[in-house]
């Protein structure tokens, strides 16, 4: 499988060659801070290859001290980007950074003990296809 992705401003572009092994919705406090939302949606692969399609000078990586937590992002627009973790053995790709739909569905919610208090029963919240008037 080959799939492309990019940041919001389009300065950083990439391609993933290979398959994802898992897809987790992480509710840890670190991911909540990273995304500004209830959870991060990350795809994982130990075999897929990341190929940058643009210059890499806009890519920044932050390692949270004293943890294994890290985040790569575009220094121009702040969008989350793929990163190689665990000494390059694990590719972590933010699902929202991909340009195409993927067939893999989330395997599980993880770190649910840290779930945001306002996140419960969201399926019952009114929804709109666009910004409400």
Domain annotation for the chain: domains and CATH numbers:
2-117 (2.170.150.70)
Binned at pLDDT 50, 70 and 90, residue 54 comes out as confident
Residues ≥6 apart with Cβ < 8 Å to 50? 14, 15, 16, 82, 84, 91, 93
What are the strands of the beta sheet with 13-17, ordered from one edge? Answer: 2-6, 13-17, 49-52
Q: What is residue 113's predicted lDDT score, i.e. its pLDDT?
A: 95
Binned at pLDDT 50, 70 and 90, residue 123 comes out as confident
Average pLDDT over every residue of 52-73: 93
Average pLDDT over every residue of 83-91: 91
Binned at pLDDT 50, 70 and 90, residue 87 comes out as confident
Q: How far is CA 75 from the centre of its chain?
A: 16
């Amino acid at each position: 499988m080959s799939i492309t992705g990019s940041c919001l401003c389009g300065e950083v572009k990439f391609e993933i060659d290979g398959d994802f092994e898992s897809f987790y919705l992480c509710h840890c406090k670190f991911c909540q801070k990273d995304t500004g939302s209830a959870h991060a949606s990350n795809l994982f692969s130990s075999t897929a290859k990341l190929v940058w399609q643009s210059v890499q000078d806009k890519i920044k990586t932050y390692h949270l001290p004293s943890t294994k937590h890290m985040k790569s992002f575009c220094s121009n627009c702040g969008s989350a980007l793929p990163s190689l973790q665990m000494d390059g053995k694990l590719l972590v790709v933010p699902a929202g950074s991909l340009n195409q739909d993927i067939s893999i569905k989330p395997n599980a919610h993880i770190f649910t003990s840290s779930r945001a208090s306002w996140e419960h029963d969201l399926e019952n919240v009114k929804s709109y296809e666009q910004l409400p008037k």
